[in-house]
Structure 1
Amino acid sequence: MSPPPSERERPAGQPPAAPTRTDRVARLASAFIGGPFGDHAVDPPRRRYWIPIRVILLTGLIAFAVNWLQKYPCSAGGWVDWQQYTSACYTDIRALWGAERLNEGAVPYRDHPVEYPVLTGWFMGVLGQIAYRVGAVAGTDGGPIFWHLNAIVLFICGAAAIAVLHRIRTDNRRTDLPGPDPDPALVHSRPSRPWDAMMLAAAPVVLVTATVNWDLFAVALAMPFFLYWQRSRPVMAGLFLGLAVAAKFYALLFIGPLLVLALRQRRLLPALQATATAAIVWAACNGPVAYWWPESWMRFFELNSERPVDWGTGWYVLRGVTGWEALWDSEFVNDLYLVCFALSCIGIAALGFFAQRKTAGGAFGLSAPSNEDIVPRLAQLCFLVVATFLLFGKVWSQQYVLWLLPLAVLARPKWGFFLVWQAAELFYFFSFYGKMLQVSAEDGRGIPEGLFLAAAASRWLAVAVMCALVVQEVLIPRLDAVRSLPLRPKPTAPTPPPRGTAAPAPAAAP
């Protein structure tokens, strides 16, 4: 029996896309390592050891090592003279060692309410127990042990996310084709793009945010959802989606785009299978904690409803620029956020359902031919939903950029504006600690409020422009690098006759 389509290998004969031929920034940067991929080069290159995945993972490990060094000054705890802000090395992992009573051997939820979803709570709890017991046996503080343990495991999670993204882009399969057994030539009509994973491995913001919190754990759980969905395995996709939601709630936002595209393609069953599996897995993770320690389990939901407008959000910038006093009211901001986010989701749903659909008799009816690669991609809609959630949310912590990074790479793997966005994120990251120093220290250190507002506004605008660029590529699929569709030829103007020649005589009227 022949293997199912999800298990078939990519047909031979189509070389991977070379970044220096498809991306202007990569082409310019290649000048430092010998120039762009040449016309006479062996395609694909005959590599024995330094194949793309090993080069990409090495780059990611170097980035994680730099992050380790950047956070190391804060790993010992006992911060004095606002060292966590002056060195920009603050990490929730080290701060919560004492705040969550992990230094006393407390078990999350049972002994102390935790402000995180269940899987993240158990993640910190298991490593907390190891660090507490090792510290007790060694007669030393378990705090540094706890931070280093978390850093090692989070780096493994980051490497796993990079490897899965590489696998997604190496296959680069289409999921919009009808029927249970589509033509393999159409399934693999997009070129392989293994080097897209380098954008995640070499993202500048990873250098400073990888271990601020436990978000890399959730990212590593969320990425296989896209891989298994691409391979037409909805149950496995739902399994990882449920685990990701149990770790960080942002992955719940993937369900909307999944159902919208399923409705558009009239293939609801796989999407419902994935959603049902995710719900069962999430309930299995949360059920025991909710049953035995309901008050501790509810702490996460209560905190998110009670929190006021946080530093650096769009509402904070709006309040700082306009002085709108109503934005101090958390309930008012909650309502305003829900309205804005709901309207955004309706717009994204309409974009996903109606973009590039053909009209029949003036009404939306028949879709474009199935062999045309014009259906919006799942990653594009997921990026838009998560991005608008952050743009209109009342909390936007600096590490939330890790949610967007792999989605941005999947949605729009182009280095140009990606680096502009990364620069805005770095500007905000360091400005945030300047602001924290300004409100914490009493000796006038820190940065002025205007500079912090400028940094927060630049981050907001950069993400908004990324959204606009993704929407543009949904509406004009030939601009989408993932599809690699040939651009339509522009009509050429007629060549003017040489000077001195007589114009042709007009044709006689019929």
Structure 2
Amino acid sequence: MPSAASDLAVRRGLLHRGETVIIMVTSLLFTIAALTWSYRAKLACGGAPFDEFGRSAKFPVGDPNAVIPCYSDLMFLWVGRDIDNHVFPYIHGGITEQGHLFGGVVEYPVLSGLLMWLGAIGKETDYTFFIQSALILTPFALVITILLAWMSRWWVLLWAATPALVLYAFHNWELPVVFTSVAAIAVMAFGASASGKTGQRRMSLRTSAIIASVILAIGFSLKIYPGMFVLPLALYVLTHGALGQSARRALDWVGAAWVVVAAVVTTLVAQVPFMIAGYEGWKAALDFQGKRKADIDTNTFWYWGVRPLVGDIDLYNSIVGVASTLLIIVAVVAATYLAWRQYKIDGVFPWIGASFALLAGFMLFHKVHSPQYTLWVLPFFVLLRVPWPAIAVYLVTDVTLDLSIFRMFGYLAMQQPTPWYIDAGVPACRSVSRWHRSSAPRCRRGRR
């Protein structure tokens, strides 16, 4: 288990105003450089000529020799979900018996679907949709950098100056949900900081935790995973936060309950309007995820590791459908138990470390995975004491996967054989491209 939340305060230390300015300016410059590079790299997949749907003829290939593959889910999402037709999401749609969404339904939680709709307003091509979507996403990246720099000093460069931001800033709608997890932690850090006037906490533990819980619930309606962090946050409040066992008081059940209630109410506020206006469309997005298989699209160890061991595809799907859910539950229980055991040792419940552990379990055992989820992990690398070798191995592996799997989409689209280094990086799709050309579109779907 990574270090307790109190380590964050130790690592922040006291910043002189000049040092703060240097850290902020440097990290923001790195962030702007990464965003610019990412934007230019991904934009290369778009442009005239366009077909009748506004799809760029260049997509998903662009320049096959470019350092960074231009493919992005942002541009891919333009066609097939009525985003190009400017249909308000979820209200008019549903799902067919074959599992295909229609009528404006997208396979993302409602707030992500709403952002996609906003990105398409006034646009008629995937190229201009990408540009407007990138403009929506950019402020989230900058604010994340500011918050991480305030909380972690130079450690922010793990976020701003590593390849992931270049590769994934404009790959999918990850930045808003990452912002919610970072913002929730920042609220807790700000609330615990000392007021210059009184020397006391700026906000009570309950108040800061309730605000953080609201932010995490917003993240849940963007891409699910921040909602898991409400559990360790509630346990942190239950055990009196940084005071922990030294508080010598009964557990704060009322405060913990308020944290959970705040998350539930916020989730209802985000979800219920869509449920009322178009229940079938709202439910269709959930049904799609429930019916989704751990196949070659989803890029998980289930397909690459478990599938070859199970001969029957129906049996494989049944095993994964049950085992994935059970293992995620086991991961939640195990992480919570280990965090509670650490609380008994240190006297402070490590809610940030526990949240990271929950995220790791979710990413490992879920049926769906994609390289851009690295953006979910990076803030925890910044804020917690994770060993350098582990960070290095993770980032190198991630770059290798990105530069192979997303470059492969271009070769498959051109119906050309993939180079050896892509074959080595993506063995599963290599088999598809060589022996089952008819399955190649499944490799190109890219939905994450």
Smaller-chain TM-score bracket:
0.7 to 0.9
Indicate which of 74, 94, 97 corresponds to 2:78. Answer: 97
Q: Residues 168-208 of structure 1: CA distance to partner in whole angstroms, max 9, x if unpaired?
A: x2xxxxxxxxxxxxxxxxxxxxxxx4222221111211111
For 1:339, the aligned partner's letter is L
Which residue number corresponds to residue 431 of structure 1? 404
Which residue number corresponds to residue 109 of structure 2? 117
Residue correspondence of structure 1 range 361-440 to structure 2 within 5 A: 375-412=348-385, 415-436=388-409
**Deviation for aligned residue 1:56:** 0.9
Which residue number corresponds to residue 230 of structure 2? 255
**Deviation for aligned residue 1:316:** 1.6
Indicate which of 204, 209, 223 corresponds to 2:163. Answer: 204
- Report SS of the residue matched to 1:355: helix
- Report SS of the residue matched to 1:78: coil
**Deviation for aligned residue 1:44:** 6.6
In the alignment, the residues of structure 1 paired with residue 146 and residue 283 of structure 2 have an alpha-carbon distance, to the nearest angstrom, of 35
Contact in 2 for aligned 1:117/1:248 (Cα 8 Å): yes
**Is the alpha carbon distance of 1:153 and 1:328 closer, same or farther for their aligned partners in structure 2, counting shifts above 3 Å?**
farther
**Deviation for aligned residue 1:287:** 0.7
Instruction: Name stretches of at least 5 consecutive residues in structure 1 with no aligned partner.
Output: 1-9, 18-42, 133-140, 170-192, 359-367, 457-510
Indicate which of 148, 164, 178 corresponds to 1:165. Answer: 148
Residue correspondence of structure 1 range 68-467 to structure 2 within 5 A: 68-76=39-47, 77-80=55-58, 82-83=60-61, 86=64, 88-111=69-92, 112-129=104-121, 131-132=122-123, 141-167=124-150, 169=151, 193-230=152-189, 231=191, 232=205, 233-264=208-239, 265=244, 266-311=251-296, 312-319=299-306, 322=309, 324-325=311-312, 329-355=316-342, 357=344, 375-412=348-385, 415-436=388-409, 441-447=414-420, 451-453=425-427
Larger mean CA deviation between 295-304 and 409-418 belongs to 409-418
In the alignment, the residues of structure 2 paired with residue 247 and residue 274 of structure 1 have an alpha-carbon distance, to the nearest angstrom, of 19
**Is the alpha carbon distance of 1:434 and 1:103 closer, same or farther for their aligned partners in structure 2, counting shifts above 3 Å?**
closer
Q: Which has the higher contact order (CA 8 A, sep 6+)?
A: 2
In the alignment, the residues of structure 1 paired with residue 323 and residue 62 of structure 2 have an alpha-carbon distance, to the nearest angstrom, of 34
In the alignment, the residues of structure 1 paired with residue 323 and residue 125 of structure 2 have an alpha-carbon distance, to the nearest angstrom, of 43
**Deviation for aligned residue 1:315:** 0.8
Contact in 2 for aligned 1:64/1:207 (Cα 8 Å): yes
**Deviation for aligned residue 1:427:** 0.6
Residue correspondence of structure 1 range 10-21 to structure 2 within 5 A: none
**Deviation for aligned residue 1:48:** 8.2
**Is the alpha carbon distance of 1:321 and 1:434 closer, same or farther for their aligned partners in structure 2, counting shifts above 3 Å?**
farther
Contact in 2 for aligned 1:337/1:392 (Cα 8 Å): yes
**Is the alpha carbon distance of 1:321 and 1:202 closer, same or farther for their aligned partners in structure 2, counting shifts above 3 Å?**
farther
Contact in 2 for aligned 1:16/1:194 (Cα 8 Å): yes
Residue correspondence of structure 1 range 38-53 to structure 2 within 5 A: 47=18, 50-53=21-24
In the alignment, the residues of structure 1 paired with residue 325 and residue 177 of structure 2 have an alpha-carbon distance, to the nearest angstrom, of 24
Contact in 1 for aligned 2:235/2:256 (Cα 8 Å): no
For 2:76, the aligned partner's letter is A
Contact in 2 for aligned 1:161/1:220 (Cα 8 Å): yes
For 1:306, the aligned partner's letter is K
**Deviation for aligned residue 1:51:** 2.2
**Is the alpha carbon distance of 1:398 and 1:85 closer, same or farther for their aligned partners in structure 2, counting shifts above 3 Å?**
farther
Contact in 2 for aligned 1:398/1:429 (Cα 8 Å): yes
Structure with greater Cα Rg: 1
**Is the alpha carbon distance of 1:201 and 1:119 closer, same or farther for their aligned partners in structure 2, counting shifts above 3 Å?**
same
In the alignment, the residues of structure 2 paired with residue 455 and residue 203 of structure 1 have an alpha-carbon distance, to the nearest angstrom, of 27
**Deviation for aligned residue 1:345:** 1.6
For 1:122, the aligned partner's letter is L
Which residue number corresponds to residue 36 of structure 2? 65
- Report SS of the residue matched to 2:44: helix
- Report SS of the residue matched to 1:97: coil
Contact in 2 for aligned 1:260/1:349 (Cα 8 Å): no
Name the structure where helix makes up a greater proportion of residues. 2
Contact in 1 for aligned 2:41/2:70 (Cα 8 Å): yes
In the alignment, the residues of structure 1 paired with residue 78 and residue 428 of structure 2 have an alpha-carbon distance, to the nearest angstrom, of 33
**Deviation for aligned residue 1:348:** 0.9
Contact in 1 for aligned 2:89/2:117 (Cα 8 Å): yes
**Is the alpha carbon distance of 1:435 and 1:379 closer, same or farther for their aligned partners in structure 2, counting shifts above 3 Å?**
same
In the alignment, the residues of structure 1 paired with residue 418 and residue 427 of structure 2 have an alpha-carbon distance, to the nearest angstrom, of 17
In the alignment, the residues of structure 2 paired with residue 92 and residue 262 of structure 1 have an alpha-carbon distance, to the nearest angstrom, of 38
Contact in 1 for aligned 2:404/2:426 (Cα 8 Å): yes
Q: Residues 89-143 of structure 1: CA distance to partner in whole angstroms, max 9, x if unpaired?
A: 11122122232223223222234212111111111112212x33xxxxxxxx443
In the alignment, the residues of structure 2 paired with residue 328 and residue 441 of structure 1 have an alpha-carbon distance, to the nearest angstrom, of 34
Contact in 1 for aligned 2:147/2:182 (Cα 8 Å): yes
- Report SS of the residue matched to 2:344: coil
**Is the alpha carbon distance of 1:450 and 1:261 closer, same or farther for their aligned partners in structure 2, counting shifts above 3 Å?**
same
**Is the alpha carbon distance of 1:268 and 1:439 closer, same or farther for their aligned partners in structure 2, counting shifts above 3 Å?**
farther
For 2:255, the aligned partner's letter is P
Q: State the TM-score, normalized to the length of structure 1.
A: 0.66
In the alignment, the residues of structure 1 paired with residue 351 and residue 41 of structure 2 have an alpha-carbon distance, to the nearest angstrom, of 35
**Is the alpha carbon distance of 1:58 and 1:259 closer, same or farther for their aligned partners in structure 2, counting shifts above 3 Å?**
same
Q: Residues 235-272 of structure 1: CA distance to partner in whole angstroms, max 9, x if unpaired?
A: 21122112111111111111222234445552333332
Contact in 2 for aligned 1:165/1:223 (Cα 8 Å): yes
Contact in 2 for aligned 1:117/1:247 (Cα 8 Å): yes
**Deviation for aligned residue 1:398:** 2.1
**Is the alpha carbon distance of 1:85 and 1:109 closer, same or farther for their aligned partners in structure 2, counting shifts above 3 Å?**
farther
Contact in 2 for aligned 1:241/1:251 (Cα 8 Å): yes
RMSD of the TM alignment (CA)? 3.0
Contact in 1 for aligned 2:46/2:57 (Cα 8 Å): no
In the alignment, the residues of structure 2 paired with residue 124 and residue 89 of structure 1 have an alpha-carbon distance, to the nearest angstrom, of 19
**Is the alpha carbon distance of 1:69 and 1:327 closer, same or farther for their aligned partners in structure 2, counting shifts above 3 Å?**
farther
